[in-house]
Amino acid sequence: MTLLRARGRLPGSSDIRVGPVVRERVDSRDRVSAMVAGVPVFFESDDAELVPSVEAFASVFLIPALEQGVRLSLDTPPSATWLANAHRLVELFRTWWGYVGPDPLAGIASRPDVGFPRPEGGQCFSGGIDSFFTLFRSPHRRDVLVFVHGFDVALSDERRVRACEHSLRAVAAATGRRSVLVRTSVRRHPHLRAVSWEREHGAVLAAAGHVLSGTIGSLVIPASWSYAWRKPWGSHWDSDPLWSSDRLGVVHDDAGLERWDKVPWITDEPLVREHLRVCWENLEPTGNCGRCEKCIRTRVLFERWGCFDRFEPVFAKPRPLVESLDRMAPLSKAQREWIWEPHYACWPLPAEVHDAILRLNDRSRRAESPGPFGRVTRRLARLGRKLRRLGRARPR
């Protein structure tokens, strides 16, 4: 993406046009769709009537427009509130990520705001630590739990999404809430494949809220990082509220705690021990693999808080924790510098776990070092992670 930011746009690039947003019934599902840069994009659900919201599609493609140095072209005017907020997002993202080039919103006219949001509130729910903490501890209204299929779980992965859906329905029923599963094809779009998901994911969550604005008037996004986190991120307390429109308020949940400090607040909840889902490499077909970086990172969290034995069953036949740490591929520099060295390596842990973390950090540093061996080790680790994700998640 450096080339995009440095030159403003690539040769042959053009404006990203979002065509008319239409609503239709497809089998038993309510669907809203639009042609975006000549490629169809949809959101659909069996659980709720969807709103043909141009704000949803414009939110998704704002960052790709910034990345490519092109403009958005909308056939339908967005709400005045959304457009004013989007202008502020553009300036924020330029500050965060150094985008240059034309204003992607130049020439877009707005429509007058049309009314007040519905009183019901929704919450993005993936089954992770942040999701459960928000479910049990957030002061915001959360009448509906929303899972987005096509976000972390590929659209083609029906087996895994059935397991996620089972947890969504069970947790919603047990807590007296409604569950809504939304499917979307946005990650299949070429423009989405070309941008960093770390930057884009908050926009996609907000977009799901916009198409549900006939059911909910606010959408709570659980916080991934605390206020101490000073780095830009796709879902952030500064950016999430700016995805709001006249019909939907996007809320970033309280970020007063780091994820590892949320664990004691949820460990006594039986639903967490039954339905926790943290795996992102998807090495197991229905649950937590227990051996990817995030799974092992979470297992260390439980060891820190003395609840390791209670939560070990949510991972699929994991090796002992020390062996898992010793078998891990080298960390990325960001993982090592942001998480493992300043936090995990400093926690009061059993000596054998602490020593294994030190060994992991040490070999990760060596893999980053100059020289043929370091470069080959780093590239092989990255290639392995990429191949595992592609093998489990494609096509989307």
State the CB neighbour count (10 A cutoff) for residue 118.
Answer: 17
Residue 262 included in any domain: no
Is 132 within 8 Å of 229 (Cβ atoms)?
no
Is 182 within 8 Å of 149 (Cβ atoms)?
yes
For residues 210 and 309, state if they share a domain.
no
For residues 214 and 343, state if they share a domain.
no
Locate the DSSP E strands across the chain.
16-18, 22-26, 29-36, 39-45, 72-74, 121-124, 144-149, 178-184, 218-221, 249-252
Residue 270 included in any domain: no
Residue 264 included in any domain: no
Residue 258 included in any domain: no
Is the four-CA dihedral 320, 323, 327, 331 of positive or negative sign? positive
For residues 29 and 85, state if they share a domain.
yes
Question: Is 314 exposed, middle or buried (CB count within 10 Å of its CB: 0-12, 13-18, 19+)?
Answer: buried
* Structural domain range at position 219: 2-252
For residues 111 and 209, state if they share a domain.
yes
Out of 235, 252, 269, a domain closes at 252
Q: What is the pLDDT of residues 340-359, one digit of tens each?
A: 999 999 999 999 999 999 99
Residue 286 CA to residue 280 CA, distance in Å, equals 12
Is the four-CA dihedral 326, 327, 330, 335 of positive or negative sign? negative
Residue 330 included in any domain: yes
Q: What is the pLDDT of residues 263-291, one digit of tens each?
A: 999 999 999 999 999 987 777 777 899 98
**Of the candidates 213, 207, 142, 204, the residue with the CA atom closest to the CA atom of residue 179:** 142
Residue 98 CA to residue 307 CA, distance in Å, equals 43
For residues 321 and 238, state if they share a domain.
no
How many domains does the chain fold into? 2
For residues 236 and 284, state if they share a domain.
no
For residues 210 and 297, state if they share a domain.
no
For residues 240 and 295, state if they share a domain.
no
For residues 162 and 284, state if they share a domain.
no
Residue 272 included in any domain: no
For residues 218 and 332, state if they share a domain.
no
Residue 277 CA to residue 16 CA, distance in Å, equals 35
Residue 94 included in any domain: yes
CA 210 to chain centre: 16
For residues 105 and 197, state if they share a domain.
yes
Residue 267 included in any domain: no
Is 190 within 8 Å of 40 (Cβ atoms)?
no
- List per-residue pLDDT tens for the chain, 396 residues long: 333 333 334 444 589 999 999 999 999 899 999 999 999 999 999 999 999 999 999 999 999 999 999 999 999 999 999 999 999 999 999 999 999 989 999 999 999 998 789 999 999 999 999 999 999 999 999 999 999 999 999 999 999 999 999 999 999 999 999 999 999 999 999 999 999 999 999 999 999 999 999 999 999 999 999 999 889 999 999 999 999 999 999 999 999 999 999 999 999 999 999 999 998 777 777 789 998 999 999 999 999 999 988 998 899 877 899 999 999 999 999 999 999 999 999 999 999 999 999 999 999 999 887 666 656 666 676 676 666 555 544 444
For residues 166 and 284, state if they share a domain.
no
